[in-house]
Structure 1
Amino acid sequence: MNDTGNFVLVAENSETVWESFSNPKDTLLPTQIIGIGGQLCSRNSPKDFSLGQFQFRMLSDGSAVLNTVNLPTREAYDTYYITGTRDSQNKSNSGHQVVYDKSGYLYLLKKSGDVFYISSPKDVVAFPASEYYHKATLNFDGVLTLSCHLKSSSSANATWNQIKAIPNDICVAVHGDLGTGPCGHNSICTLNEDQRPSCKCPIGYSILDPTDEYSGCKPEFLPSCNGASSGDHFELRPLPNTDWPTSDYELFKPYSVEDCKKSCLQDCLSAVVVYNSEEDSCWKKKLPLSNGREVRTLSTTVFFKFSNDSRSGNKPDLPGSNKEEEDHTLVIVISVLLGSSVFVNFLLVSVMCLAFFFYSKRKYFVYPNESHVKSNLRHFTYKELVEATNGFREESGRGSCGVVYKGETDQSSPIAVKILDRMFQDNDKEFQAEVNVIGQTHHKNLVRLTGYCDEQQHRLLVYEFMRNGSLASFLFGGLRPSWYQRVQIAFGIARGLVYLHEECTTQIIHCDIKPQNVLLDDYYNARISDFGLAKLLALNQSHTKTNIRGTKGYVAPDWFRSAPVSVKVDVYSFGVLLLEIICCRRNVLDMNDNEEEKVILTDWAYDCYVDGRLEKLVENDMEVMSDIKMVERFVMVAIWCLQEDPSVRPTMKKVMLMLEGIVQVSAPPTHCLSTSVIN
């Protein structure tokens, strides 16, 4: 490893066999050069190091460009930045190399020796290389950034400071007809002060991947083209200063704004219309919407379609609309009653008014500071949590019955706030169960509940924040975690479940053990989260009856029988999760891209065990291959957990002891393995 940061493999004769500077990924260091055909490739997301959709390339015509790509085939799409150093008249004046020199200047060197600066020298002159480290990185969001880091800084919180961002506005720069910008389809890109983008979903849409705000948005409704007018089921809302420059498929001109809106409502393919009052033009756009952005100088009006079906749960509050409908209904009823006796009418109308009043006001009879929960945990007001989360701006995930947002308390401690937004019939009971019971649990492998809000109609839970995200992102990202880390995570999950099943005052069945519900703390310790689906048992109970709960692929067959379920449903789910930890792959894969025998991991692992070819489960993972005995022990434990008969499955206490090697693992049955229902 040279002082420049170049990692070099050298043969015995001192000849360079391979060097990292000639094989860049997403970052350049001073003295590094990109020649013709060389490129930087962004990562896919903040935590996914697989290849992303952005490239910085040195073309053979002499120009350096930033462009998007097709992820499956890596085909280059339109450029959104170009140096323009191609000279067809005088090829000696065309670009030749991209150079990141030792002073931190990024420029394109022409064949003639002339220099075209990609970053101006004045950008970095205030950060001399004698005092600062420098780097240039093509980020996952498509922004090429030049950054510096003070060499003399001894602070643990010292960070890289951005010097320059290319392009100046990534939200506006990426506007090609193919692909999408940094925010994914149907999303809206907003430029932050640091010239980096943030993304949000419009009304009626939700984020595709709750752990990645840049993954795009999915519609909460599915427009139907069955011949009926979609205007009966959809409404339009204006979005100020917003545009999707592509996705046009029809233009009406001249056209009024009302005709434009009506045309969108009556066309099930139309998701958005853009009306230009100066030209009396109406542009109709279809899904998916690409490269959405907010631009304050826009003079057009955008109307966005969303479902108004109350059964869908996607209709936003429209001030006065419900009241008008109710008032209209009340007038009709009173008119009918006027034909009856005055005294009877008076009684009936009085009763109806009282009933209407109590019905419309029922949820506000809880005083603001009155709580249904008796707990020693901190009671937050709703206003405090709104301020702590900056208006619930940064979504960090989705739990069993609500969305989770990142926030910060007055002590500057990060928190995770879950809003219970799915109104189950027994919602209040579940809320009180989480606060009263889960609030009393204290274990190093459980996410700790620190507070709650029980104010009027608001139900929120406050947890400690886990900086390293979910186990799903950790296992299934671009880089495979070390075998040691995976083993420790498996131990941690097992210990957490033992605590829930056997060591709590009130026994708890989690009911939804899966990688998304295991979080990782600062030291990558496993912390079981999301007890919203937990079924609580009294001390004298061993079974309980409830509706099917959990996630397909992890659900034990016990749920589909008339017999009561027990803690053994968690043992089954842990067996599936243990195989995923061993193999670093999801339980169910797409059959189109994989051999049929490998589609369902539990089946494939069982076949590999029976056939004596466990190395197939961990091929290309040399670290795991060197510890194949432990792999065999873990697979045997998983097969025990996956037995169809719950009475045959071991307890989590025994599972933990078998994993740790304290209890010997006997050969599991070879005929009673059950595969969780996945359809």
Structure 2
Amino acid sequence: MPKPLKFLENLMRPFRRRRDREAEEDLEAIAAKEQKVFRYETLAAATRGFSPKQKLGEGGFGPVYKGRLEDGREVAVKRLGMGSRQGAKEFTNEAMLLSRVQHKNVVNLYGYCTHGNDKLLVYEYVPNESLDKLLFAEPEGPRRAELDWRRRYEVVVGVARGLLYLHEDAHTPIIHRDIKASNVLLDDRWAPKIADFGMARLFPEGLTHVNTRVAGTNGYMAPEYLMHGALSTKADVFSFGVLLLELVSGRKNSSFIPLADADADTLLEWAWKLHRKGQSLDLMDPALRTTAVPEQVKMCVHVGLLCTQADPKLRPDMKRVVVILSKKPSTLEDPTRPGVPGSRYRRRALGPGGSRYSGESSSSMTSPSASASASISTVASSSNANNTATISRTSARSHSQPSHQRK
């Protein structure tokens, strides 16, 4: 390290330590005030001494164990791996954000524990698998069949309501930053719960966006965020739109294999071209043939495309999305070309359908490389990997991605 940089690093170190210490003290104060502090002995007993037989999975943060408290509640205990500095920051971030969040479509944090070098978060146990385990299962397999259209539509509505709560009704607005199928857990009634808040950010009211380090998953990040670090609630809207199109098609956007006659390199582009031809139903997962409601499928494709438009100003907010999904299909504006990594948008004169913006491909921009990142759900194993990219504005670097109950 050059001497000037080393000197600056040494100069900043005490301030960083103090900041980290203050964050932990704030977390403990919140937990104590809300009676969310657990004794280490209680959690050790609940997990049978953190027995390997109780282990649900392991990822970037460390292992997650299933446990049962003395009052009968089943829990998932996330235990921070030793020596994980980056993980410690995200671990604390997740605890501080979730400590004041209460919504049926957001995973419930029961409490927090510190014991020496051990840091543990205690969540409700969500018995069914994460959404990706079913949605991207073998096309003709029994697991895919469990996720019929009614359940998929309930997932769409539930995730939309959870995001609306985070964006508008939480104590301070929260941007999740990593909405994807593997971060949606399904409870015993198949209700969706948004999980993994390790990268979430508070978003003070009155701001249009904040500039920040880019972190998220390849295939789900909005172009303005990926390219410029401009973060707003519309970045979550974009990710939700991708998830919605994945639920309809049963295909993963980040690993989309172009069809021979589709003339599209991404799921979003394929959906847009089918929509323009009036053939949205051709996007539908074949597993849904016997259970799908055609009008709902078409509406979901339309909403997904509105949410993934290149220009964030054209995307609806989550309040409007929830309203659309909760009512009978109505006339919606035509979506413009979806945004993809490496694309930009520009103003133009009014086009067909009153559109003022169009997507414009930019050959000089390239999408970042993705790193394999383990995700853990209540029933997932350490072999479950997701392509996750953590990108700075000037370079891409690997980053282990945490995921509640899948870590």
TM (norm. structure 1) is 0.42
Q: 38, 44, 56: which one pairs with 1:380?
A: 38
Distance across 2 between alignment mates of 1:569 and 1:630: 24
Stretches of structure 2 lacking an aligned partner (at least 5 in a row): 1-13, 342-366, 370-407
Distance across 1 between alignment mates of 2:323 and 2:134: 25
Over 3 Å counting, the alpha-carbon distance change for 1:674 and 1:397 in structure 2 is farther
Superposed CA offset, 1:514-542 (max 9, x none):
11110011100011111111011233444
1:188 aligns with none
Over 3 Å counting, the alpha-carbon distance change for 1:558 and 1:455 in structure 2 is farther
Following superposition of structure 1 onto structure 2, how do residues 238-253 of structure 1 map, counting pairs within 5 Å? none
Q: 291, 295, 300: which one pairs with 1:634?
A: 300
Shift of 1:408: 1.8
Over 3 Å counting, the alpha-carbon distance change for 1:503 and 1:600 in structure 2 is same
Over 3 Å counting, the alpha-carbon distance change for 1:495 and 1:502 in structure 2 is same
3-state SS in 2 of match to 1:561: helix
3-state SS in 2 of match to 1:522: coil
Distance across 2 between alignment mates of 1:506 and 1:468: 30
- Checking the alignment, whether the CA contact within 8 Å between 1:404 and 1:419 is kept in structure 2 is yes
2:102 aligns with 442
3-state SS in 2 of match to 1:437: helix
Following superposition of structure 1 onto structure 2, how do residues 475-486 of structure 1 map, counting pairs within 5 Å? 475-477=135-137, 478=141, 479-480=144-145, 481-486=147-152
- Checking the alignment, whether the CA contact within 8 Å between 1:476 and 1:586 is kept in structure 2 is yes
1:579 aligns with 245
1:224 aligns with none
Shift of 1:606: 1.3
Over 3 Å counting, the alpha-carbon distance change for 1:600 and 1:404 in structure 2 is farther
Amino acid at match of 2:28: V
Distance across 1 between alignment mates of 2:28 and 2:182: 28
Shift of 1:373: 1.1
2:163 aligns with 497
Distance across 1 between alignment mates of 2:96 and 2:79: 17
Over 3 Å counting, the alpha-carbon distance change for 1:532 and 1:418 in structure 2 is same
Distance across 1 between alignment mates of 2:325 and 2:298: 11
1:658 aligns with 324
Identity %: 36
> 2:126 matched to 1:466?
yes
Over 3 Å counting, the alpha-carbon distance change for 1:619 and 1:581 in structure 2 is closer
Amino acid at match of 2:289: M
Distance across 1 between alignment mates of 2:322 and 2:83: 36
- Checking the alignment, whether the CA contact within 8 Å between 2:249 and 2:285 is kept in structure 1 is no
Distance across 1 between alignment mates of 2:205 and 2:93: 15
2:76 aligns with 416
1:622 aligns with 289
Shift of 1:505: 1.2
User: 1 or 2 for the larger relative contact order (CA 8 Å, sep ≥6)?
Assistant: 2
Superposed CA offset, 1:623-673 (max 9, x none):
355x22221111111111111111111101111111223684523333x31
Over 3 Å counting, the alpha-carbon distance change for 1:437 and 1:595 in structure 2 is same
1:160 aligns with none
Shift of 1:555: 1.2
Shift of 1:426: 6.3
Amino acid at match of 1:473: K
Amino acid at match of 2:36: R
3-state SS in 1 of match to 2:210: coil
Shift of 1:511: 0.5
Superposed CA offset, 1:450-479 (max 9, x none):
011122322211100000121111222333
- Checking the alignment, whether the CA contact within 8 Å between 1:400 and 1:533 is kept in structure 2 is no
Shift of 1:384: 3.2
Distance across 1 between alignment mates of 2:204 and 2:26: 24
Superposed CA offset, 1:413-471 (max 9, x none):
22111123386756555444433331111111111000111223222111000001211
3-state SS in 2 of match to 1:453: strand
3-state SS in 1 of match to 2:302: helix
Distance across 2 between alignment mates of 1:603 and 1:635: 12
2:184 aligns with 518
Following superposition of structure 1 onto structure 2, how do residues 385-400 of structure 1 map, counting pairs within 5 Å? 385-390=43-48, 391-393=50-52, 394-397=54-57
Larger Rg: 1
1:127 aligns with none
Distance across 1 between alignment mates of 2:83 and 2:333: 46
Superposed CA offset, 1:71-101 (max 9, x none):
xxxxxxxxxxxxxxxxxxxxxxxxxxxxxxx
Aligned length: 312
Distance across 1 between alignment mates of 2:87 and 2:278: 49
- Checking the alignment, whether the CA contact within 8 Å between 1:373 and 1:436 is kept in structure 2 is no
3-state SS in 1 of match to 2:290: helix
Superposed CA offset, 1:303-359 (max 9, x none):
xxxxxxxxxxxxxxxxxxxxxxxxxxxxxxxxxxxxxxxxxxxxxxxxxxxxxxxx9
Distance across 1 between alignment mates of 2:148 and 2:171: 36
Amino acid at match of 1:673: P
TM (norm. structure 2) is 0.69
Following superposition of structure 1 onto structure 2, how do residues 159-170 of structure 1 map, counting pairs within 5 Å? none
1:209 aligns with none
Distance across 2 between alignment mates of 1:516 and 1:526: 11
Over 3 Å counting, the alpha-carbon distance change for 1:585 and 1:441 in structure 2 is same
Following superposition of structure 1 onto structure 2, how do residues 474-623 of structure 1 map, counting pairs within 5 Å? 474-477=134-137, 478=141, 479-480=144-145, 481-562=147-228, 564-589=230-255, 591=257, 597=263, 600-618=266-284, 620=286, 621-623=288-290
3-state SS in 2 of match to 1:411: coil
Over 3 Å counting, the alpha-carbon distance change for 1:643 and 1:402 in structure 2 is farther
Shift of 1:382: 3.3
After superposition, the CA RMSD in angstroms is 3.0
Shift of 1:385: 2.5
3-state SS in 1 of match to 2:215: coil
Over 3 Å counting, the alpha-carbon distance change for 1:428 and 1:396 in structure 2 is closer
Distance across 2 between alignment mates of 1:555 and 1:586: 14
3-state SS in 1 of match to 2:216: coil
Higher share in helix: 2
Over 3 Å counting, the alpha-carbon distance change for 1:562 and 1:590 in structure 2 is closer
Over 3 Å counting, the alpha-carbon distance change for 1:634 and 1:371 in structure 2 is closer
1:456 aligns with 116
3-state SS in 2 of match to 1:386: helix
- Checking the alignment, whether the CA contact within 8 Å between 1:557 and 1:644 is kept in structure 2 is yes
Over 3 Å counting, the alpha-carbon distance change for 1:548 and 1:664 in structure 2 is same
Superposed CA offset, 1:455-506 (max 9, x none):
2322211100000121111222333321111111100000000000000111
Distance across 1 between alignment mates of 2:189 and 2:69: 22
Distance across 1 between alignment mates of 2:57 and 2:65: 7
- Checking the alignment, whether the CA contact within 8 Å between 1:553 and 1:678 is kept in structure 2 is no
Distance across 2 between alignment mates of 1:385 and 1:517: 24
Shift of 1:558: 2.0
Distance across 2 between alignment mates of 1:387 and 1:604: 52
3-state SS in 2 of match to 1:552: coil
Over 3 Å counting, the alpha-carbon distance change for 1:407 and 1:505 in structure 2 is same
